[in-house]
Amino acid sequence: MGVPEHYYVALSAILFTIGVVGVVIRRNPLVIFMSIELMLNAANLALVAFGHRFGALDGQALVLFVMAVAAAEVAVGLAIIVVIFRARRRLSVDDLSVMRW
Amino acid sequence: MTAYVAFFVLAALAVGSALGLVLRRNPIHGALFLVANLGSVAALYLTLGAEFLAAAQVIVYAGAIMVLFVFAIMVLIPGKEETGPDPRRPVRVLAAPLGVLLFLLLAFVVARGTGAPAGAAAPGPTTIGALGRLLFARYLFPFELTSVLLLAAMIGVLLLARKKAS
């Protein structure tokens, strides 16, 4: 009847890999953040697939928590980026090699 | 049969939009690709019987978080992003083989784990009610901690983003 769950887990692996490559190759911190969202999303998809396979709802509850953590992380991260932009007037992760200046 | 067609269409959409996010230079295009990706993953949640998560995904991710992203991009990026030669190009070229390696590793783990026994029957039609009961019974403490986390994030953002009163 339904699609086997390991198809979903394989798709999740593909999306996670794309997110990792995005974090590594991009220079814009905003795009790096979006790639991190991509990875979180891939993990969520795997959690839902596993939950579906075992007939348990715990995976879905965990996904809800991951979403809340992602929202908090994005808010704090974007605030940090705004502060860095105010101090530096440009955005490139290659320039940000010191923690304070 | 239709389940397979739906899965592969949605999976192709998700992978294509993820590649668009990583490969397009313009961050606004990347943000729109990410919205498409989140939407297709929400549809995949629907095919897995997770209706509440699909709705939450659209509202929280595609709604709130992506609006925040687009707002930040509009405020911060003056339209000329990632121009000029990349000073670290020789290092970044390594990302492709390393990505392939990581994917092979993950695929190996997935292929090894498919022999796991399937669980009991899939959750019934009252999924949302059962999920709510689970959240407010077994996961009550993490649920309340989440609200503390969000409050802490809010206060932290306010502290970070305020102008120095000098």
Domain presence at residue A100: no
pLDDT digits (tens, 9 = 90+) for A16-53: 999 999 998 888 888 899 999 999 999 999 999 988 88
Question: What gap in Å lies between CA B65 and CA A2, rounded to an integer?
Answer: 31
- What local confidence, expressed as pLDDT, does residue A3 receive? 80
To the nearest whole percent, how much of chain B has pLDDT over 70?
83
Is B73 in Cβ contact with A30 (below 8 Å)? yes
Please answer whether residues B38 and B64 qualify as being in contact, where contact means their C-beta atoms are separated by less than 8 angstroms.
Answer: no
Count of CB atoms within 10 A of residue B56's CB? Answer: 19
The whole-angstrom distance between A46's CA and the closest CA on chain B is: 10
- pTM for the model: 0.87
- Residues with Cβ within 8 Å of residue B74, at least 6 apart in sequence: B28
Higher pLDDT pick, B107 / A97: B107
CB contact B118 to A (< 8 Å)? yes
Return the top range by mean pLDDT from A88-92, A96-100, B17-21, B158-162: B17-21
Chain B CB contacts of A69 under 8 Å are 146, 149
| Phi then psi dihedrals of residue B71, to 5 deg | -60, -45
Chain B CB contacts of A63 under 8 Å are 50, 53
Dihedral angle of Cα A33, A39, A45, A46, to the nearest 10 degrees: -160
CB contact B44 to A (< 8 Å)? yes
Please answer whether residues B130 and A59 qualify as being in contact, where contact means their C-beta atoms are separated by less than 8 angstroms.
Answer: no
Question: What is the tally of structural domains in chain A?
Answer: 1
| Both structure tokens of B78 | 């003056």
Question: What gap in Å lies between CA B9 and CA B19, rounded to an integer?
Answer: 15
| Coil vs helix vs strand at A81 | helix
- What local confidence, expressed as pLDDT, does residue B41 receive? 94
Q: pLDDT confidence of A87, banded at 50, 70, 90?
A: confident
Nearest Cβ partner for A57 among B14, B123, B146: B123
- What local confidence, expressed as pLDDT, does residue B165 receive? 57
Please answer whether residues B23 and B43 qualify as being in contact, where contact means their C-beta atoms are separated by less than 8 angstroms.
Answer: no
Question: What gap in Å lies between CA A5 and CA B88, rounded to an integer?
Answer: 40
The whole-angstrom distance between B166's CA and the closest CA on chain A is: 15
Domains defined for chain B, CATH in brackets: 1-79 (1.20.120.1200)
- What local confidence, expressed as pLDDT, does residue B106 receive? 86
- Residues with Cβ within 8 Å of residue A66, at least 6 apart in sequence: A40, A43, A44, A47
ipTM > 0.85? yes
Please answer whether residues A44 and A66 qualify as being in contact, where contact means their C-beta atoms are separated by less than 8 angstroms.
Answer: yes
Chain B CB contacts of A96 under 8 Å are none
Question: What gap in Å lies between CA A92 and CA A47, rounded to an integer?
Answer: 33
Output the CA–CA distances (angstroms, integers) from residue B125 to B46, B50, B51, B128, B129, in the order listed: 13, 10, 10, 8, 9
Q: pLDDT confidence of B115, banded at 50, 70, 90?
A: low
Please answer whether residues A34 and B34 qualify as being in contact, where contact means their C-beta atoms are separated by less than 8 angstroms.
Answer: yes
| Token pair 């490559």 in the structure block, residue | A21
Q: pLDDT confidence of B97, banded at 50, 70, 90?
A: confident
Chain A CB contacts of B138 under 8 Å are 61
- What local confidence, expressed as pLDDT, does residue A27 receive? 82
- What local confidence, expressed as pLDDT, does residue B40 receive? 94
Where in the sequence is the domain holding A54, given as residue range(s)? 5-95
CATH code for the domain in which residue A75 is found: 1.10.287.3510
The whole-angstrom distance between B32's CA and the closest CA on chain A is: 11
Chain A CB contacts of B134 under 8 Å are 57-58, 61
Domain presence at residue A101: no
The whole-angstrom distance between B55's CA and the closest CA on chain A is: 11
Q: pLDDT confidence of B93, banded at 50, 70, 90?
A: confident
